[in-house]
Structure 1
């Protein structure tokens, strides 16, 4: 019998949960995970169970913020009307604003 591998909180995570997503949903999920600086497993568990994400700021997170905000800035300069704005620009912007809002509560 193999030894159980416990997580940081001494829990044995023996179940595998899977689901299907569209390529667009998967991209949005991956963008959100990167912006939050968490492992995807922890992000999904916390999001599904608590519907709130706790953010721990670090350099990689701020680098992701900068990259997305620079892209958004370029698009905002390019567009002439709000109707021309692509939906995929709004997801990272919404996530960044949610994170900043939570940090301001601390």
Structure 2
């Protein structure tokens, strides 16, 4: 039998919660998780409990920022070629901006 693993508050997490999302919602969630540096589980729990998600800059977060900015650039080039601006793109840009602003504020402390 496996050993029970407790969380930081000494709780045993044995409940599974699952839900369906669209491919677009999944991509948005995945981007937010990558940029947060948290696990998907921790990110969703923070959001559900309306806790502030604090991003700690580390190589994984910087790589996620770089990759997300590359995707944004690709979309901006598509727009320049005559395409429209999607709500998902604007949400991604806002998420990146907030993440980078938070990291900037953290460095100035």
Query: 1:59 aligns to what?
Result: 59
Calculate the aligned-residue CA RMSD, in Å: 2.6
Q: Is the 8 A contact 2:35 2:64 kept in 1?
A: yes
TM-score, normalised via structure 2 length: 0.76
Query: 2:100 aligns to what?
Result: 100
Gaps of 5+ in 1: none
The equivalences for 1:1-106 within 5 A come to: 3-80=3-80, 84-106=84-106
State the 1:38 CA deviation: 0.9
Deviates more, 1:92-101 or 1:60-69: 92-101
Q: Is the 8 A contact 2:37 2:55 kept in 1?
A: yes
State the 1:103 CA deviation: 3.1
Deviates more, 1:61-70 or 1:73-82: 73-82
TM-score, normalised via structure 1 length: 0.77
Q: What number of residue pairs does the alignment pair up?
A: 106
- 1:58–1:13 Cα change, 3 Å: same
Gaps of 5+ in 2: none
